[in-house]
A = this chain, B = another copy of it.
Amino acid sequence: MQFTVTNRELSSKARAGVLKLAHGEIHTPVFMPVATRGAIRALPHFALEQMDFEIILANTYHLYIRPGTSVLENAGGLHEFMQWKRNILTDSGGFQVFSLSDLCKVREHGVEFRSHLDGSKHLFTPLSVLDIQRVIGSDIMMLLDQCIEYPADEKRAAAAVARTLAWAAQAREYYETFDKERQAAFGIVQGSTYPALRRDCALKLIDLDFPGYAIGGLSVGESKQEYVEISELTAGLLPDDKPRYMMGVGSPAEIVESVAHGVDMFDCVMPTRIARNGTLYTSQGRVNIRNAAFENDKSPLDPHCDCYVCRNFSKAYLRHIFRVGEIAALVYNTWHNLYFMKKMMNEIRASVIDGNFEKVRRKYRELF
């Protein structure tokens, strides 16, 4: 893995860079579409390729439950299994264990849980989640961390940070057994909304010297003000020469703010999830395709968008097929929203390079 910051924007900490991984270059800041179980929800594969995404995210917990590591191992890893030629980042599954599974118990050595599908018992340890990600063949592996709910009191948040750091130390040692040219491992900064905890967690992770760092535990219900403060604080603590990844974020407005704090990577299910609910990103802000005003509207969803959907269909048609429940409507909506994200990231990146970032930042803050 090689990361180069190629451009800096002077009014903020925004930066553009190139991250070289085993499956090609990634131009940052970057948005990673989420293929939880080895497929982007409601999006056929070729649409993803057409949009030229350089990296996608998949989920260790979900892939471990189904299809399971033996299937993935037999397939030769997830790239081969899902026929995706470019990069894959996998989160460790920690977040899903804490949010989805039943009877989750945090122990010193790891986290015990029951599958949300069949109730079977499982254990994730800092080492086992790396083993799973070795089988998956992730270009970027995430460490097991302890995710907590929001709000959480400081004592609970401190305990989670301590656990996260202890696990990170074990993982760091185990990571030495990996082919580090093929698989990067990122540490995750936790600490809820407590600046001192965030600082402590970040500095101790930096001591462990990971190839990259993520900011976890945000966009979980905190206020906008808290999000911005913790994003700025934490990003500012992380090494300048390594990629910074904001996990599970977010709206266009949140992304553009964290880019201003020097964050390089983002992932979120929001663009695909709201698409399936009929909510679409446009150059005029959010639009709900169910809107009765579109009944006879022959214009495209977004006249400034040149995606497949906007080049071909009217709002009236998109509204009709969504209302009657056609699956194609989910495909088109998802396609459009992901294209919007890609184009937005391209625009943000270009603005960092040519010095117009503040203008772009203002635009997305106002629209979303």
**Measured CA separation A83–B320 after assembly (Å):** 13
Scoring A residues 317 to 340 as 1 if CB is less than 8 Å from chain B, else 0, what string do you get?
100110110111111100100000
Report chain B residues within 8 Å CB of A328: 39-45
Q: Which of A4-12, A74-82, A122-130, A246-254 contacts B (4 or more CB under 8 A)?
A: A74-82
> Contacts A44-B44, A327-B330, A331-B44: A71 and B39 contacting too (C-beta < 8 A)?
no
Determine if A359 is an interface residue (Cβ-Cβ < 8 Å).
no
Determine if A313 is an interface residue (Cβ-Cβ < 8 Å).
yes
> Contacts A324-B66, A327-B331: A81 and B37 contacting too (C-beta < 8 A)?
no
Report chain B residues within 8 Å CB of A326: 37, 39, 41
Report chain B residues within 8 Å CB of A329: 39
Chain A interface main SS type: helix
**Measured CA separation A252–B74 after assembly (Å):** 35
Report chain B residues within 8 Å CB of A71: 295-296, 316, 320
> Contacts A75-B314, A81-B314, A83-B312: A38 and B320 contacting too (C-beta < 8 A)?
yes
We find that the number of chain A residues with CB closer than 8 angstroms to chain B is 42
Scoring A residues 43 to 84 as 1 if CB is less than 8 Å from chain B, else 0, what string do you get?
111110000000000000010001100110011000001110
**Measured CA separation A348–B328 after assembly (Å):** 30
Is B332 a contact of A81 with CB atoms below 8 Å?
Answer: no
Which single residue of chain B is at the shortest CB-CB distance from A313?
B83
Determine if A308 is an interface residue (Cβ-Cβ < 8 Å).
yes
**Measured CA separation A42–B323 after assembly (Å):** 15
- Work out how many copies of this chain go into the complex: 2
CB distance from A137 to the nearest CB of B (A): 15
Which single residue of chain B is at the shortest CB-CB distance from A70?
B296
Pick 25 A–B contacts, CB within 8 A, sort by A: A37-B326, A38-B317, A39-B321, A40-B328, A41-B326, A41-B328, A42-B328, A43-B327, A44-B47, A45-B312, A46-B308, A66-B324, A67-B316, A67-B320, A67-B323, A71-B296, A71-B316, A74-B316, A75-B296, A75-B298, A75-B316, A81-B320, A82-B317, A83-B313, A327-B330
**Measured CA separation A288–B275 after assembly (Å):** 30
Pairs A-B, 5 closest by C-beta atoms: A42-B327, A67-B320, A39-B326, A74-B296, A39-B328
Report chain B residues within 8 Å CB of A332: 44
Which of the residues B47, B83, B295, B335 comes within 8 Å of A317, measured between beta carbons? B83
Report chain B residues within 8 Å CB of A331: 44, 327, 331
Q: Which of A207-252 contact B (CB under 8 A)?
A: none
Is B295 a contact of A67 with CB atoms below 8 Å?
Answer: yes
Q: Which of A10-40 contact B (CB under 8 A)?
A: 37-40
> Contacts A66-B320, A316-B67: A327 and B41 contacting too (C-beta < 8 A)?
yes
CB distance from A325 to the nearest CB of B (A): 9
Which single residue of chain B is at the shortest CB-CB distance from A40?
B328
**Measured CA separation A235–B239 after assembly (Å):** 78
**Candidate in A37, A44, A70, A83 with the most chain B CB atoms within 10 angstroms:** A44
Report chain B residues within 8 Å CB of A45: 312, 328
CB distance from A40 to the nearest CB of B (A): 7
> Contacts A326-B41, A331-B331: A317 and B46 contacting too (C-beta < 8 A)?
no
Report chain B residues within 8 Å CB of A308: 46
Which single residue of chain B is at the shortest CB-CB distance from A326?
B39
Is B42 a contact of A317 with CB atoms below 8 Å?
Answer: no
Q: Which of A65-121 contact B (CB under 8 A)?
A: 66-67, 70-71, 74-75, 81-83
